[in-house]
Amino acid sequence: MPDESKPYHHGDLANALVTAAIAIIEERGVEHVSVREVARRAGVSPGAPFRHFPSKSALLAAVAEQAMERLSSAVRAAQAPHDDDPLDQLERIGLGYLEWAQDNPAHFEIVSQRSLVGLEGRSRELNDEIRTRMLSLLESAKSTGQLSKDADIDTLVLSCRALVYGLARMLVDGHFPEWQPNGNPAQWMKRSLALFIGELREHHREPSQPG
Amino acid sequence: MPDESKPYHHGDLANALVTAAIAIIEERGVEHVSVREVARRAGVSPGAPFRHFPSKSALLAAVAEQAMERLSSAVRAAQAPHDDDPLDQLERIGLGYLEWAQDNPAHFEIVSQRSLVGLEGRSRELNDEIRTRMLSLLESAKSTGQLSKDADIDTLVLSCRALVYGLARMLVDGHFPEWQPNGNPAQWMKRSLALFIGELREHHREPSQPG
DNA sequence: TCCAAATGTAATCGATGATTACTTCTAACA
DNA sequence: TGTTAGAAGTAATCATCGATTACATTTGGA
């Protein structure tokens, strides 16, 4: 039976700190995260976190890495199954991204602010993976004739990304009440994404083989 | 001849503080703005700013208001002339917004973070004005037959806004090196916007009157 | 001219990020 | 089993921050 008084060593303080930081972000926003408060929640002295992270930034970077890992999983899961219409897959990726952002605003906020945490190593990898995922779906849509052969794939990827990122950011930054007063944001985001993908589908479609 | 030593009263400290705050944001980002540093730049004691703004937030809100005023002007200027194709006007608004964000990243950053400064009074007014501007252009495009009669205007406004806001945010948040490694961001943003408006134009166009 | 309001200063408070010296525990080795 | 090196915590300290207060200076109108 474990000692009921806290042991001197926490056991897994690093993770506990990251979790505490996320809780604070969820409750009061990134700008209210302080190392001391994080330590307080983990039941540890104000200096303890610095044994695990050299700086506050490093702690936030760890939060970002965890967040990016989860976002990546959400996107991967949303894409499945991988054997249907590529543009449907693309739309599901967008929806998955948006739903994740809505369900995890704290995670999303920290992931999106590069100036706050930088983008290196694993995070960079996962980010690139998402882009590649979208790129290959569009390529594949082109090869199946859903997009015309001269469709500008690079610009399309950027546009999709910007739309989804913009919607997610608007949500987290609190722009929705003003930009779409009626209904819930999720509904509007879904419509907006569907409209965009729909346009791709119908406008860029290769005309059926003449002759 | 004015005394060469600083007068006891600054003369226009409120404005000087806002200007100093913007300079700091441009140099080191919003999160590094401190009232003391702002005061230091204005050549004034650490407590002085509080004679003009009740809190740091209030100072940032003033920055946001100035920023919103300028953004609004930029958008209004970009729309002119008002007598040509509505969708061209809409595209110019988007471009104007993006160029402004690129030229004034500090202003844009502070405008976009509602949690930081809120959105009330004049700022809210100007924001609504931009939305109304876009809305009426789309309505007008519908009436001229550039958009089909059953086009979902509300969703279109949201999509346009999300795309432009997303691009601007990606720029300011530093996502461009990863999402479009080649060429300069301005070029890519322009292409992305043109692609979107182009799709609206071609896909939603009302078929010419039969008979 | 004189005084009241506006504007700036100086001193102070509690909280923060960060560093240092010190203490306590854990686990690997003889 | 006992020792000990180092990992992981504490306590004390520092400069800086946002904010408040009491006080000083300037200004403009009665």
Question: Tens digit of pLDDT for each residue in B3-44?
Answer: 345 676 777 999 999 999 999 999 998 889 999 999 999 999
CA distance A175 to B207: 35
Q: What pLDDT is recorded for position B4?
A: 42
Do A77 and A153 fall into the same domain?
A: yes
User: Has residue B190 got a pLDDT over 50?
Assistant: yes
Q: What pLDDT is recorded for position A161?
A: 97
The answer to whether A57 CB sits below 7 Å from nucleic acid chain C is yes
Query: Which residues in chain A land under pLDDT 70?
Result: 1-6, 8, 115-119, 203-211
Do B65 and B32 fall into the same domain?
A: no
Please name the nucleotide lying closest to A51, CA to C1': D8
> What is the pLDDT confidence band of residue B1, given thresholds at 50, 70 and 90?
very low
CA distance B18 to A13: 42
- Whether residue B13 lies inside any domain: the answer is yes
> Which of A53, A74, A93 is a domain's end point?
A53
Q: What pLDDT is recorded for position A2?
A: 37
- Whether residue A209 lies inside any domain: the answer is no
Chain D positions with any atom < 7 A from a protein CB: 8-13, 16-22, 25-27
- Whether residue A208 lies inside any domain: the answer is no
User: How far from the centroid of its chain's Cα atoms is residue B165's Cα?
Assistant: 9
- Chain A residues in contact with B200 by the CB 8 A cut-off are 199
Q: What pLDDT is recorded for position A186?
A: 92
Do A143 and A177 fall into the same domain?
A: yes
Do A136 and A114 fall into the same domain?
A: yes
* Phi, psi torsion values for B55, nearest 5 degrees: -160, 170
- Whether residue A59 lies inside any domain: the answer is no
- Whether residue A113 lies inside any domain: the answer is yes
Report yes or no: A112 at the B interface, CB cutoff 8 Å: yes
* Mean pLDDT across chain B: 89
- Chain A residues in contact with B191 by the CB 8 A cut-off are 152, 155, 158
> What is the pLDDT confidence band of residue B83, given thresholds at 50, 70 and 90?
confident
Do B84 and B179 fall into the same domain?
A: yes
- Whether residue B108 lies inside any domain: the answer is yes
- Is residue B81 reached through a cis peptide bond, with omega within 30 degrees of 0 on the bond before it? yes
Number of domains in chain A: 2
CA distance B91 to B78: 9
> Which of A13, A29, A53 is a domain's end point?
A53
Closest CA-bearing residue to C1' of C19:
A47
Report yes or no: A27 at the B interface, CB cutoff 8 Å: no
User: Has residue B181 got a pLDDT over 50?
Assistant: yes
Do B186 and B144 fall into the same domain?
A: yes
| Chain A: closest CA distance from residue B8 (Å) | 35
> What is the pLDDT confidence band of residue B204, given thresholds at 50, 70 and 90?
low
* Tokens of residue B69, six digits: 């005023």
Report yes or no: B203 at the A interface, CB cutoff 8 Å: yes
Three-state DSSP class for residue A207? coil
Do A24 and A85 fall into the same domain?
A: no
Do A131 and A191 fall into the same domain?
A: yes
Q: Which residues sit close to strand D, CB under 7 Å? A: A 8-11, 13, 39, 44-48, 51-52; B 7-9, 33-37, 46-47, 50, 54-57
Are residues A179 and B161, on separate chains, in Cβ contact within 8 Å? yes
- Whether residue A210 lies inside any domain: the answer is no
Do B105 and B129 fall into the same domain?
A: yes
Å from A41 (CA) to D3 (C1')? 36
pLDDT digits 0-9 by tens, B40-71: 999 999 999 999 999 999 999 999 999 999 99
Angle made by CA atoms A177, A178, A180, in degrees to the nearest 5: 70
Which carries the bigger pLDDT value, residue B162 or residue A115? B162
For residues B75-79, average pLDDT: 97
- Chain A residues in contact with B173 by the CB 8 A cut-off are 112-115
CA distance B114 to B110: 8
Report yes or no: A154 at the B interface, CB cutoff 8 Å: yes
The answer to whether A34 CB sits below 7 Å from nucleic acid chain C is yes
Nearest neighbour of A166 by CB, restricted to B169, B180, B199: B169
Q: What pLDDT is recorded for position A4?
A: 42
Q: What pLDDT is recorded for position A167?
A: 97
- Chain A residues in contact with B116 by the CB 8 A cut-off are 31
Domain of B149, in residue numbers = 61-203
Nearest neighbour of B188 by CB, restricted to A112, A128, A158: A158
Do A32 and A98 fall into the same domain?
A: no
Do B76 and B43 fall into the same domain?
A: no
- Chain B residues in contact with A200 by the CB 8 A cut-off are 199
CA distance A44 to A134: 43
- Whether residue A9 lies inside any domain: the answer is yes
CATH number of the domain to which B175 belongs = 1.10.357.10
Q: What pLDDT is recorded for position B118?
A: 65
Three-state DSSP class for residue B42? coil
Please name the nucleotide lying closest to B43, CA to C1': C8
CATH number of the domain to which B33 belongs = 1.10.10.60
Do A24 and A109 fall into the same domain?
A: no
For residues B60-87, average pLDDT: 94
| Chain B: closest CA distance from residue A179 (Å) | 7
Report yes or no: B160 at the A interface, CB cutoff 8 Å: no
Are residues B163 and A159, on separate chains, in Cβ contact within 8 Å? yes
